[in-house]
């Protein structure tokens, strides 16, 4: 069964061109499913059926897995079975007509303008690390790009003179995103004064590098932002995506149109962008209820 998983992983990575994170997520979910059915003495996918899948989902629920996790696991298993049937390894797909559990959509955490300033003021500009970190945080908030896109940036993707960056997600259409003056200033300082010292002569195309002169990872950045969140004593759950969410919400709050924000964020569907308009409406209502004497 693991051999079939390897073939599926290769297929979604090389043929369907899914991102590394998506491939990793699918692989992890299906491995856990395989471990479960093997514990039930099932050693071939031909011996599984709809009941097998439903029983596994109930097993996840019984073990306290979140509805979103169960829904994602089913999506991974469904994609795997679709591959097996398309390759004629199986005659039938046991996940057909299986409904995913309904996931309550939670609005993303948004920082206020003051909280953004507090977070961005934490890095120490008198150090190489602080200058690099300040540059990353400012660039995230200035452009709204994903953390995966941030760490994937190369030096050639930045145009300091014209004030923009090139961003491309999973070989999709290239996005040209303007960069504000504050982010540009600290970015130029990082490129000029800090990056060469971190590289120590090593040839590296990555824009942001660690102390080994190698491309910074998403995990590395997560540790960085978590450290500054604690230092700033911000009592909100901050993730690497929080600055992206705040960027979008603050733009819409200050009059930007949804279509422009959609293009900058790289959303294929505008309904994904509309969640930020909902956040803005909620905040306006909250202000009204607090301030209006007859609210």
What residue segments make up the domains of the chain, in order of their start?
2-86, 113-290
CA atoms within 13 A on the CB side of 171: 8
Q: Higher model confidence: residue 111 or residue 103?
A: 111
- What would the pLDDT profile of 207-238 be if each residue is shown by its tens digit? 999 999 999 998 899 899 899 999 999 888 88
- Average pLDDT over all residues of the chain: 84
First to last CA, the chain: 62
What is the per-residue pLDDT for 21? 83
Give the other-Cβ count within 10 Å of 9's Cβ: 17
Cα–Cα distance for residue pair 20/9, rounded to 1 Å: 10
pLDDT bin (cut points 50, 70, 90) of residue 169 is: low
Model confidence pLDDT, tens digit, residues 237-287 = 887 788 888 877 777 776 776 677 677 777 666 666 666 666 555 554 444
User: Nearest to residue 218, comparing CAs of 151, 153, 154?
Assistant: 151
The pLDDT, as a whole number, for residue 35 is 93
Q: What is the DSSP letter of 106?
A: P
pLDDT for residue 291: 44
Report whether pLDDT(295) > 60: no
Quick one: pLDDT at residue 186?
Answer: 95
pLDDT tens-digit readout, 13-54: 888 888 888 889 899 999 999 999 999 899 888 898 999 999
Q: How far apart are CA 132 and CA 163, in angstroms?
A: 18
Distance CA(37)–CA(77), nearest Å, equals: 12
Q: Among 3.30.560.10, 2.60.40.420, 1.10.443.10, 1.10.3720.10, name the CATH number for the domain at 113-290.
A: 1.10.443.10
User: What is residue 159's predicted lDDT score, i.e. its pLDDT?
Assistant: 94
Task: Look at the domain 2-86 and name its fold.
Answer: DNA polymerase; domain 1 (1.10.150)
Report phi then psi at 252, rounded to 5: -65, -40
Q: Would you place residue 104 in the very low, low, confident or very high pLDDT band (cuts 50, 70, 90)? A: low
Helix count (H) and strand count (E) of the chain?
A: 13, 3
What per-residue confidence (pLDDT) applies to 228?
93
Lowest mean pLDDT across 74-83, 102-111, 181-190, 195-204: 102-111
Helix (H, G, I), strand (E, B) or coil at 271: helix
Percent over 70 (pLDDT), the chain? 85
Distances (CA, A) of 43 to 1, 34, 40, 83, 144: 7, 9, 9, 18, 46
Residue 38 DSSP code: H
Instruction: Write out pLDDT tens, residues 185-197.
Output: 999 999 999 999 9
Q: How confident is the model at residue 106 (pLDDT cuts 50, 70, 90)?
A: low
Question: In terms of C-beta density within 10 A (0-12 exposed, 13-18 middle, 19 or more buried), how is residue 82 classed?
Answer: middle
CA distances from 218 to 32, 177, 290 (A): 24, 21, 39
């Amino acid at each position: 069964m693991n051999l079939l998983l390897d073939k599926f992983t290769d297929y979604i990575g090389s043929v369907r061109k899914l991102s590394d994170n998506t491939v990793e997520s699918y692989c992890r979910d299906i491995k856990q499913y395989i471990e479960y059915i093997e514990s039930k003495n099932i050693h071939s996918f031909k011996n599984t059926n709809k009941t097998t899948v439903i029983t596994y989902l109930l097993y996840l629920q019984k073990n306290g897995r979140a509805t979103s996790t169960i829904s994602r696991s089913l999506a991974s298993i469904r994609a795997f079975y679709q591959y097996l049937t398309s390759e004629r390894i199986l005659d039938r797909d046991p996940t057909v007509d299986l409904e995913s559990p309904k996931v309550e959509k939670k609005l993303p955490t948004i920082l206020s303008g003051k909280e953004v300033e507090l977070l961005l003021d934490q890095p120490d500009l008198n150090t190489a690390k602080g200058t690099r970190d300040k540059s990353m945080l400012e660039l995230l908030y200035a452009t709204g790009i994903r953390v995966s896109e941030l760490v994937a940036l190369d030096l050639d993707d930045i145009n300091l003179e014209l004030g923009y960056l090139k961003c491309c997600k999973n070989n999709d259409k290239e996005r040209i995103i303007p960069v504000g003056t504050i982010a540009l200033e600290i970015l130029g300082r990082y490129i000029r004064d800090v990056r060469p010292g971190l590289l120590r002569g090593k040839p590296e195309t990555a824009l942001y590098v660690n102390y080994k002169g190698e491309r910074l990872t998403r995990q590395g950045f997560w540790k960085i932002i978590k450290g500054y969140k604690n230092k700033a004593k911000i009592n909100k759950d901050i993730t690497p995506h929080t600055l992206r969410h705040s960027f979008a919400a603050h733009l819409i709050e200050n009059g930007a149109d949804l279509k422009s924000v959609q293009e900058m964020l790289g959303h294929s569907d505008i309904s994904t962008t509309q969640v930020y308009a909902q956040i803005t409406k909620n905040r306006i209502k909250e202000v009204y209820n607090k301030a209006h004497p007859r609210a």
